[in-house]
Structure 1
């Protein structure tokens, strides 16, 4: 590949992703996003993949194969090596922002793009791994930043598009909204960014100073990379239209029935195995064209799903055995909402002499459980069972002897057992 093609050709579109992949199963998300991008453009595209030592040789080869299939190019940047000292200092400042199960260093890699990428790369589109590009990326690339260092979509813009009310009382409690020139009108999501790397380079490195700010206000900050970017750029960025960062958890509820032109962002684990849902469909239409979707994936997908279902069914069967033993020599007392009585009586073949006590969350004002525990056992169907359990345990009642969580012994519908996102993630 000719590296000169990166900066010297004005038609070149530069796109960056960041990843860490401890189990080797996360790379396929970026693969699907890249494929969706390549499918919808005639432009030359260079992918800049920011990664660490967790990138396997197999996944690296898949990225190269996918990129070459579309006649594009990709460059790899091992951030763990190239920014070793910087990341070590970052860990000293605030380790939790760099290394936790929930929050990986890859989230911070986008902050390092200005210093990692070649100087002749002057503009960059950054995309989170869990995005699908449902548009020609050149249209996004050609957005005029009007002197701003970056462009992003605000939550205000998204909420106004969906015509939903905003609860300022919650968000204005955040430190960032009080002390860093940030408010709900300017707070933006960092999953899709258009970056002027020259302007950002002139600011110098922002990771360490950003972490020093975050560590002082840890309790108020939720998303470290996003909070840092908002801290530095909240009053100095181009407000992009809503469709450049379409958040799935809102669009599924309030969006149009068919996909629109834009970039779909599957944050919040919103991806499902539902081909009839257009937002899922555009993801899988891209994924099936990647090297990750092969015979091994299909077989593993089936095996994992079967194992999940079998495991949950076995748990339920074991709990039912335990319940049968508990009420073998006592009468059952069923407790739940009035609307559920008929369904529960039918489901558990409730005998005429077995009482059903109608109870809702009003129990918190006082419990009325009149039956003797030596002859009866209570079976609760309450949404607030965890709180109820605390009260019963305090009173000396014993679970599986004196009372049972009835919902735990109902065989669940498969759709309630299967977390499709996690199944796809582990394969």
Structure 2
């Protein structure tokens, strides 16, 4: 771990969320961030249930930069340092692994950011741990979002009409990359409003933190250019040939098509492995890399689409009635 240093420019305050299952992928995010922002002082806070072994591995990645400082915090530790009367009573404990579906309780990190950073921190950039940073974050960091408390990238072609006061076409941001204006976040009581939204709509939320941010703060969100969070639709658009295309800076592997899976066909999968080589997980082998899948992937590109679809139905009859 490096000591905090003085830096001539405003340092980047980065918030990452990861548990042991995602430590490798968080390491890729960290490596890509540091290698492409080598002239920056970067203070990274990890929130999640990480083992000492995972922490040590992430510290080794931090050595890619001479001006990176890591700190670690779990939600259970955060609860222990807070006044019990102030901490949300309905927040799941660290022992409850899931909130809804496959989500870890660490997703609440995005809602509790003002508890993680003190009043002297004015700006924080949150990044998911299935992200590759492929350029400088300085332009994003210097984006003025005032008077808004939060900035994110809109999800295209995505309606959340099940949420209160949402109509088709209403803007909705992805919570994988978030730029916080902490003074406004506190002033507008965004944390309390988001948690209240979750409590009032617990039966209908699908992506708990994301729905809460969009639902509680509707009309108070700043929309960033999609190059700062190239989720699926944006990644595919940039993978097609074309002139004068501005490439994304942040690639977000959201959804099930994860690049660390052998059968993944993500158009920017190679970037994940490029930065993986700079981590202690550089000998990683995808768990789904079997002889059958190697044969399947090798022959798939040469088979007509109709035949591939037919073979897929045979292989997975339960998913194809």
Per the normalisation by structure 2, the TM-score is 0.77
Q: Which runs of 5+ in 1 are unaligned?
A: 160-165, 311-338, 345-380, 384-406, 411-427
**Could you say if the C-alpha distance between residues 235 and 120 of structure 1 is closer, same or farther in structure 2, counting changes exceeding 3 Å?**
same
Asked whether 1:184 is paired with 2:169, we answer yes
**Which has the larger helix fraction?**
1
| Matched-pair contact (CA < 8 Å) for 2:5–2:41 | no
**Could you say if the C-alpha distance between residues 237 and 212 of structure 1 is closer, same or farther in structure 2, counting changes exceeding 3 Å?**
closer
**Distance in 2 (alpha carbons) for counterparts of 1:284 and 1:254:** 21
**Distance in 1 (alpha carbons) for counterparts of 2:199 and 2:178:** 24
**Could you say if the C-alpha distance between residues 195 and 105 of structure 1 is closer, same or farther in structure 2, counting changes exceeding 3 Å?**
same
Q: Secondary structure at the match of 2:125?
A: strand
Residue 90 of structure 1 aligns with which residue?
91
How far off its partner does 1:68 sit?
2.3
**Distance in 1 (alpha carbons) for counterparts of 2:92 and 2:265:** 44
Residue 10 of structure 2 aligns with which residue?
11
**The one of 207, 230, 233 aligned to 1:246:** 230
How far off its partner does 1:173 sit?
3.1
**The one of 45, 68, 88 aligned to 1:48:** 45
Aligned residues: 290
How far off its partner does 1:185 sit?
3.5
How far off its partner does 1:237 sit?
2.0
How far off its partner does 1:214 sit?
2.7
Question: Over alpha carbons, which structure has the higher Rg?
Answer: 1
**Could you say if the C-alpha distance between residues 66 and 39 of structure 1 is closer, same or farther in structure 2, counting changes exceeding 3 Å?**
same
| Matched-pair contact (CA < 8 Å) for 2:163–2:215 | no
How far off its partner does 1:235 sit?
1.0
Cα root mean square deviation, aligned: 3.6
Residue 184 of structure 2 aligns with which residue?
199
TM alignment of 1:270-285, pairs within 5 A: 270-272=257-259, 273=262, 278-285=267-274
* Higher deviation after alignment, 276-285 or 230-239: 276-285
Residue 217 of structure 2 aligns with which residue?
233
Q: Secondary structure at the match of 2:111?
A: helix
Q: Secondary structure at the match of 1:190?
A: strand
Per the normalisation by structure 1, the TM-score is 0.59
| Matched-pair contact (CA < 8 Å) for 2:12–2:43 | yes
Which ranges of 4 or more aligned residues in structure 1 deviate by more than 4 Å? Answer: 1-5, 95-98, 274-278, 307-310
Q: Secondary structure at the match of 1:80?
A: helix
**Could you say if the C-alpha distance between residues 97 and 65 of structure 1 is closer, same or farther in structure 2, counting changes exceeding 3 Å?**
closer
**Could you say if the C-alpha distance between residues 97 and 59 of structure 1 is closer, same or farther in structure 2, counting changes exceeding 3 Å?**
closer
**Could you say if the C-alpha distance between residues 78 and 205 of structure 1 is closer, same or farther in structure 2, counting changes exceeding 3 Å?**
farther
